[in-house]
Amino acid sequence: MDKAPDLTKKQLIEESNRCVACGLCLPHCPTYRILQSEADSPRGRIAMINGVVTNRIPLNEKFILHLDRCLTCRACESVCPNNVAYGDLIDQARKIILASEMPPHPNQHTRKHQSAFFQTLLASWITRPARLERLRSLIGLLQNSGMFPLLQKTVFSNRGAIARMLKQLPSITFPVDKQHKKRIFQRSWQTFYPAIGQEKGQVGLFLGCIARITDAQTLNAAIYVLNHTGYSVRIPAEQTCCGALHQHAGEPEKAQQLMQQNQRAFSEHDVHAIITTASGCGAQISTTKESFRVIDISKFLIQAADWNTLTFKPLAQKIAIHDPCSLRHVLHDQDYPHQLLKHIPDAQVVFLADNDQCCGAAGAYCIEQPELSDKLLDAKIKILMQSGAQILATSNVGCAMHIASGLRDTGSTIEVLHPVTLLARQIGMQ
């Protein structure tokens, strides 16, 4: 079933009726594995959605609780023999929940089942790139001033969602302008980065929202590798958030608006493809009806790069590949990072065990459902420690931040990187 901004009631009933209650998805569902309750399984949730839409059960707090606990990881979809479109069902059910809680005025953020912080983040921050860039500078300055740990322990310590968000943030560094011998605090992206040598084509680069603040390293690495493989990179300034957080929070129309803005921004350029470096964004953009050609960077490089022209420094380390749910269960592109990193001489590249299980990041889940999220993170950290890897490569910024914060808590020295960052380093990026 195509992703649509809105399913009709009839479509919702038809799709949920396609679940034959076989239960094959249950052992793959992270929340069922932890809670062992039917209401926290895909089958149970589908039955509840069907019950609410057909007015057989009430839309009450219990219904909201069990749906909120779903990670939208879509591991259930990957194994369902009937191809039930669970992702569409849960998104639509959340829209129904949201409509049932609508405050009297659109600027009031009074939804009971979401934290005020998350509602403010959705309404006022993630769709405004300029604000995010300023926020990045502010957070980076606080971190560099040494006041950040104190603020976390005092001002923000009782503010659950904010404290958890701050804990996830990596250390923000500012590049140095060598000519003027000063740090550059306000990041700005050029709109064009030319290919090095003969140009093979032009691609667009999708920046994302959170990645602008926390993962400029990966975006710079993507530009570096693309330029070195003969691709010029265009970064339209008008691009915005992909809309995934809105889509999964019950606001598909807002997600659709953001998608249309991105479409307008990129359609002004004659690009070969739109490259994403965060699989969460890639999954959202590529499954929307208005989509243009969107491709995860690892897949693009495997298909388009001429590997004979590149020289890699060897790296005698064990690299574990983590599969973000969006890459594995939605895009089905989980083999490409492995193929990419195998080009590094001496590197031992392995898949992390239990890669079909979510790490607990899941967009805003890590700040909205801390207990379940922590349990999943603990399990992921344990498996990672057991792997003996020195590096974890993951293709989604949210997973990277979440796992890195778990590793910091344990004092581990395992480095968490995007595959393309590692590749750029081995090609020669400083």
Residues within the interface to ligand SF4 (CB under 6 A): 19-25, 29-31, 42-43, 45-46, 70-76, 80, 82, 84, 86
Contact between 304 and 293 under an 8 Å Cβ cutoff? The reply is no
- Identify the H or E element spanning 276: strand 274-276
Angle at which helix 9-17 crosses helix 42-53, to 10 degrees, equals: 140
- B/e letters for 234-256, b = 16+ CB within 10 Å, e = fewer, are bbbeebbbbbbbbbbbbbbebbb
- CB nearer to ligand SF4: pick between 230 and 370: 370
- CB nearer to ligand SF4: pick between 262 and 279: 279
- CB nearer to ligand SF4: pick between 195 and 366: 366
- Identify the H or E element spanning 233: strand 231-234
Cα separation of 242 and 126, whole Å?
10
- CB nearer to ligand SF4: pick between 21 and 130: 21
CB of 249 to ligand SF4, least distance (A): 15
CB of 355 to ligand SF4, least distance (A): 14
Amino acid at site 385: M
Cα separation of 179 and 259, whole Å?
39
Alpha helices in 229-347 (DSSP H): 244-248, 252-267, 279-286, 297-304, 325, 336-341
CB of 358 to ligand SF4, least distance (A): 7
CB of 75 to ligand SF4, least distance (A): 4
Q: Which of 390, 318, 335, 392 is nearest to 359 (CA)?
A: 392
CB of 20 to ligand SF4, least distance (A): 5
- CB nearer to ligand SF4: pick between 73 and 340: 73
Alpha helices in 173-288 (DSSP H): 210-214, 216-228, 244-248, 252-267, 279-286
Contact between 260 and 125 under an 8 Å Cβ cutoff? The reply is no
Question: CA angle at residue 209 from 172 to 129, to 5 degrees?
Answer: 90
Q: In Å, what is the CA distance from 180 to each residue of 113, 131, 199, 216, 315? A: 50, 26, 31, 22, 35
- CB nearer to ligand SF4: pick between 38 and 101: 38
Burial category of 211 from C-beta neighbours within 10 Å (exposed 0-12, middle 13-18, buried 19 and up): buried
Cα separation of 69 and 36, whole Å?
13
CB of 19 to ligand SF4, least distance (A): 3
CB of 242 to ligand SF4, least distance (A): 19
CB of 79 to ligand SF4, least distance (A): 6
CB of 25 to ligand SF4, least distance (A): 3
* N-to-C CA span, the chain: 45
Cα separation of 400 and 377, whole Å?
11
Q: DSSP secondary-structure letter at 183?
A: E
- CB nearer to ligand SF4: pick between 73 and 165: 73
Q: Which of 99, 94, 184 is nearest to 137 (CA)?
A: 184
- CB nearer to ligand SF4: pick between 3 and 338: 3
- CB nearer to ligand SF4: pick between 38 and 415: 38
- CB nearer to ligand SF4: pick between 84 and 122: 84
Cα separation of 119 and 123, whole Å?
6
- CB nearer to ligand SF4: pick between 26 and 302: 26
CB of 46 to ligand SF4, least distance (A): 6
CB of 380 to ligand SF4, least distance (A): 15
